[in-house]
Amino acid sequence: MLNGFEEDFLQDFVKIYILESARQERIYPKDIIEELKEIKCEVELGMLHSLFHKLHQKGYVEVETSFVKGKIRKYYLITKKGKKALEFAKSRYQDLMDLIV
């Protein structure tokens, strides 16, 4: 179980990862979970959907729906606003990492 600091840190990291992934191609939340598992980063699907929803509400990603095997599937793409936010976040994280490492 994560404490408050760990959960906040993980959510911030995952938001940046979502934006970076959505910059490269349209993404599907379950695919993100699988990618994060590869680096031993366990994320609950509910938390991930919440992060996607927040990023969408703030205009950082847009939703594209498709029918796959008779079901509606939501894919996400980064917006111009999301690209600016991603570049800012990557720059800030790099500056902070330079200070602590």
Q: Which tens digits make up the pLDDT trace of 33-91?
A: 988 888 888 888 898 999 999 999 999 999 999 998 899 999 999 999 999 999 999 99
Q: Is the pLDDT of residue 2 over 70?
A: no
When pLDDT is cut at 50, 70 and 90, the band that residue 1 belongs to is low
pLDDT number for residue 101:
80
Q: What is the DSSP letter of 65?
A: E
45-57 and 29-37 helices, crossing angle to 10°: 130
What are the phi and psi torsion angles at 94 (to 5°)? -65, -45
Q: What's the whole-model pTM score?
A: 0.86
Which domains are delineated in the chain? 4-100 (1.10.10.10)
In contact, 30 and 71? CB cutoff 8 Å: no
